């Protein structure tokens, strides 16, 4: 079984300060991990993905995430928040089993940027 836990349902940061969105995962197999972003009234967009290559993954819009197997974590960070980063962020774990893949989504973290 696989699961993902987003530790904060809501995070507020000031514009220009660092962003940290936390995610822990659980998986019986070697997982692939993703972060998706959803802006209001929009579909989800892939920010970045980890698929057992480099543990530090760089994504779009200045975001990056580090896979830490010992801590079963995949936290999302950005050095300096921008107003356009305000959105909901989803951590996702994917397991490919006998050719079938299943994406399991976290409950989401709403990021608010304070001007």
Partner 1 sequence: KAGVTQTPRYLIKTRGQQVTLSCSPISGHRSVSWYQQTPGQGLQFLFEYFSETQRNKGNFPGRFSGRQFSNSRSEMNVSTLELGDSALYLCASSLTQGSGEAFFGQGTRLTVV
Our CB check for partner 1 shows the closer of 13 and 93 to be 93
CA dist., res. 95 & res. 86, Å (int): 29
* Residues in contact with partner 1 by the rule CB under 8 A: 32, 34, 36, 41-46, 49, 51, 90, 94, 96, 99-108
Considering beta carbons, is residue 6 or 81 the nearer one to partner 1?
Answer: 6
**CA dihedral for 15, 80, 34, 7, sign (positive or negative):** negative
Residues 55 and 69: their CA atoms lie apart, in Å, by 9
Least distance in angstroms from the C-beta of 76 to partner 1? 16
Min separation Cβ 21 and partner 1, Å: 15
Select 17 or 51, whichever has its Cβ closest to partner 1.
51
Contacts of 69 (CB under 8 A, 6+ apart): none
């Amino acid at each position: 079984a696989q699961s993902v836990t987003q530790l904060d349902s809501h995070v507020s940061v000031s514009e220009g300060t660092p962003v940290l969105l936390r995610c822990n995962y659980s998986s019986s197999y070697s997982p692939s991990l993703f972060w998706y972003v959803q802006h209001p009234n929009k579909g989800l967009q892939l920010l970045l993905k980890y698929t057992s290559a480099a543990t530090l993954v760089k994504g779009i819009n200045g975001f990056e995430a580090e896979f830490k197997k010992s801590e079963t974590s995949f936290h999302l960070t950005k050095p300096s928040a921008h107003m356009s980063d305000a959105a909901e962020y989803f951590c996702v774990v994917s397991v490919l089993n006998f050719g079938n893949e299943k994406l399991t989504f976290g409950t989401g973290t709403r990021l608010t940027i304070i001007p």
